[in-house]
Amino acid sequence: MKIPIEDMLIDPEFPEGIAWNRRRFHANEVIVKEGEVGKSLFLIEEGLLRVTIHVELKEQRNVKPGIRDLEKGDIFGEVCLYKSQVRNASVNAVTAGCLLEIDGERLGIYLDAHPVQGYLFYKGLFEILVERVNLGNHRIEYLLAWGLKAHGIEKHL
Protein backbone atom coordinates (compact mmCIF):
# COMPACT_ATOMS: atom_id res chain seq x y z
CA MET A 1 0.00 0.00 0.00
CA LYS A 2 1.13 3.50 -0.74
CA ILE A 3 1.06 5.99 2.11
CA PRO A 4 -1.40 8.82 1.32
CA ILE A 5 0.77 11.88 1.74
CA GLU A 6 -0.12 14.03 -1.28
CA ASP A 7 -2.87 15.95 0.54
CA MET A 8 -0.48 16.85 3.36
CA LEU A 9 2.08 18.27 0.94
CA ILE A 10 -0.37 20.87 -0.38
CA ASP A 11 -1.84 21.73 3.03
CA PRO A 12 -0.71 25.18 4.28
CA GLU A 13 -0.57 23.68 7.80
CA PHE A 14 2.26 21.41 6.61
CA PRO A 15 4.47 23.88 4.71
CA GLU A 16 7.33 23.05 2.40
CA GLY A 17 10.62 24.36 3.73
CA ILE A 18 9.52 23.85 7.34
CA ALA A 19 7.74 20.49 7.59
CA TRP A 20 9.31 18.94 4.50
CA ASN A 21 11.78 19.52 1.68
CA ARG A 22 12.24 18.08 -1.78
CA ARG A 23 15.79 16.80 -2.18
CA ARG A 24 17.57 15.64 -5.32
CA PHE A 25 20.31 13.02 -5.02
CA HIS A 26 23.03 11.57 -7.24
CA ALA A 27 24.09 7.97 -7.83
CA ASN A 28 26.33 6.68 -5.01
CA GLU A 29 25.24 9.46 -2.63
CA VAL A 30 24.74 8.47 1.00
CA ILE A 31 21.21 9.49 2.02
CA VAL A 32 21.36 8.27 5.65
CA LYS A 33 24.21 6.61 7.51
CA GLU A 34 23.82 3.76 9.99
CA GLY A 35 24.53 4.90 13.56
CA GLU A 36 23.78 8.59 12.98
CA VAL A 37 20.94 10.28 14.81
CA GLY A 38 18.14 11.32 12.46
CA LYS A 39 14.89 13.19 12.77
CA SER A 40 13.52 12.83 9.26
CA LEU A 41 11.71 10.17 7.32
CA PHE A 42 11.80 9.98 3.54
CA LEU A 43 9.48 9.28 0.64
CA ILE A 44 11.06 8.44 -2.71
CA GLU A 45 9.65 10.33 -5.70
CA GLU A 46 12.06 8.87 -8.25
CA GLY A 47 15.25 6.83 -8.33
CA LEU A 48 16.57 3.65 -6.78
CA LEU A 49 18.09 3.40 -3.31
CA ARG A 50 19.71 0.48 -1.47
CA VAL A 51 19.45 -0.24 2.25
CA THR A 52 22.63 -1.72 3.75
CA ILE A 53 23.84 -2.66 7.23
CA HIS A 54 27.33 -3.06 8.63
CA VAL A 55 28.14 -6.61 9.69
CA GLU A 56 31.38 -7.49 11.45
CA LEU A 57 32.30 -11.09 10.68
CA LYS A 58 35.64 -11.28 12.49
CA GLU A 59 38.17 -8.79 13.67
CA GLN A 60 39.20 -6.73 10.62
CA ARG A 61 36.56 -8.43 8.40
CA ASN A 62 33.41 -6.48 7.65
CA VAL A 63 30.69 -6.70 5.01
CA LYS A 64 27.84 -4.40 4.05
CA PRO A 65 25.08 -6.62 2.70
CA GLY A 66 22.21 -5.05 0.80
CA ILE A 67 19.01 -5.63 2.75
CA ARG A 68 16.63 -4.40 0.09
CA ASP A 69 16.18 -1.87 -2.69
CA LEU A 70 13.74 1.02 -2.45
CA GLU A 71 12.03 2.82 -5.32
CA LYS A 72 9.35 5.37 -6.15
CA GLY A 73 6.62 5.49 -3.49
CA ASP A 74 8.68 3.71 -0.83
CA ILE A 75 9.12 5.27 2.60
CA PHE A 76 12.08 4.80 4.94
CA GLY A 77 13.40 6.30 8.15
CA GLU A 78 10.02 5.95 9.85
CA VAL A 79 11.67 5.19 13.21
CA CYS A 80 12.13 8.97 13.41
CA LEU A 81 8.40 9.69 13.26
CA TYR A 82 7.99 11.29 16.68
CA LYS A 83 11.53 11.91 17.90
CA SER A 84 15.15 11.69 16.82
CA GLN A 85 16.46 8.13 16.67
CA VAL A 86 19.67 6.35 15.79
CA ARG A 87 19.57 5.08 12.20
CA ASN A 88 19.70 1.28 12.13
CA ALA A 89 20.82 1.04 8.48
CA SER A 90 22.46 3.09 5.75
CA VAL A 91 20.61 4.10 2.60
CA ASN A 92 22.64 4.82 -0.53
CA ALA A 93 21.57 5.99 -3.96
CA VAL A 94 21.97 3.46 -6.75
CA THR A 95 20.71 5.96 -9.34
CA ALA A 96 20.03 9.67 -9.35
CA GLY A 97 16.58 10.72 -8.20
CA CYS A 98 14.46 12.81 -5.89
CA LEU A 99 12.92 12.30 -2.48
CA LEU A 100 10.92 14.15 0.12
CA GLU A 101 12.62 14.64 3.47
CA ILE A 102 9.90 14.99 6.08
CA ASP A 103 10.48 16.27 9.60
CA GLY A 104 9.28 13.40 11.80
CA GLU A 105 8.21 15.51 14.76
CA ARG A 106 6.23 17.95 12.61
CA LEU A 107 4.59 15.06 10.76
CA GLY A 108 3.56 13.47 14.05
CA ILE A 109 2.03 16.74 15.26
CA TYR A 110 0.22 17.20 11.95
CA LEU A 111 -1.19 13.66 11.98
CA ASP A 112 -2.37 14.07 15.59
CA ALA A 113 -4.22 17.24 14.56
CA HIS A 114 -5.75 15.58 11.46
CA PRO A 115 -7.08 12.21 12.65
CA VAL A 116 -8.51 11.03 9.32
CA GLN A 117 -5.22 11.61 7.51
CA GLY A 118 -3.40 10.21 10.54
CA TYR A 119 -5.47 7.02 10.42
CA LEU A 120 -4.80 6.56 6.69
CA PHE A 121 -1.10 7.29 7.12
CA TYR A 122 -0.69 4.84 9.99
CA LYS A 123 -2.78 2.20 8.22
CA GLY A 124 -0.48 2.43 5.20
CA LEU A 125 2.61 2.44 7.40
CA PHE A 126 1.35 -0.60 9.30
CA GLU A 127 0.86 -2.53 6.06
CA ILE A 128 4.38 -1.62 4.94
CA LEU A 129 5.88 -2.69 8.26
CA VAL A 130 3.99 -6.00 8.24
CA GLU A 131 5.34 -6.68 4.74
CA ARG A 132 8.89 -5.91 5.95
CA VAL A 133 8.51 -8.20 8.98
CA ASN A 134 7.25 -11.02 6.74
CA LEU A 135 10.17 -10.52 4.35
CA GLY A 136 12.57 -10.51 7.30
CA ASN A 137 11.05 -13.72 8.67
CA HIS A 138 11.48 -15.46 5.30
CA ARG A 139 15.12 -14.35 5.14
CA ILE A 140 15.76 -15.62 8.68
CA GLU A 141 14.22 -18.99 7.79
CA TYR A 142 16.36 -19.20 4.66
CA LEU A 143 19.55 -18.27 6.54
CA LEU A 144 18.76 -20.75 9.33
CA ALA A 145 18.25 -23.54 6.78
CA TRP A 146 21.44 -22.54 4.96
CA GLY A 147 23.40 -22.54 8.24
CA LEU A 148 22.08 -25.96 9.22
CA LYS A 149 23.02 -27.38 5.81
CA ALA A 150 26.44 -25.66 5.80
CA HIS A 151 27.30 -27.25 9.15
CA GLY A 152 25.80 -30.66 8.31
CA ILE A 153 23.31 -30.37 11.15
CA GLU A 154 20.22 -31.07 9.04
CA LYS A 155 21.38 -34.66 8.63
CA HIS A 156 20.97 -35.21 12.38
CA LEU A 157 17.48 -33.70 12.69
pLDDT in tens, 62-80: 555 678 899 999 999 988 8
- Please tell me the predicted confidence (pLDDT) of residue 149: 83
Q: What gap in Å lies between CA 65 and CA 67, rounded to an integer?
A: 6
Give 77-114 pLDDT, tens digit per residue: 988 887 889 998 999 999 999 999 999 999 999 999 99
The topology (CATH level 3) of 6-152 is Jelly Rolls (2.60.120)
Domain residue spans of the chain: 6-152
State the pLDDT confidence band at 1, using cuts at 50, 70 and 90: low
Radius of gyration of the chain from Cα atoms? 18
13-22, 53-62, 116-125, 143-152, range with the lowest pLDDT:
53-62
Please, what's the b/e burial string for 88-124 (b: 16 or more CB within 10 A of its CB; e: otherwise)? ebbbbbbeebebbbbbbebbbebbeebeebeebbeeb
Check if the beta carbon of residue 77 is closer than 8 Å to that of residue 38. Answer: yes
pLDDT at 58 over 60: yes
Q: What gap in Å lies between CA 83 and CA 58, rounded to an integer?
A: 34
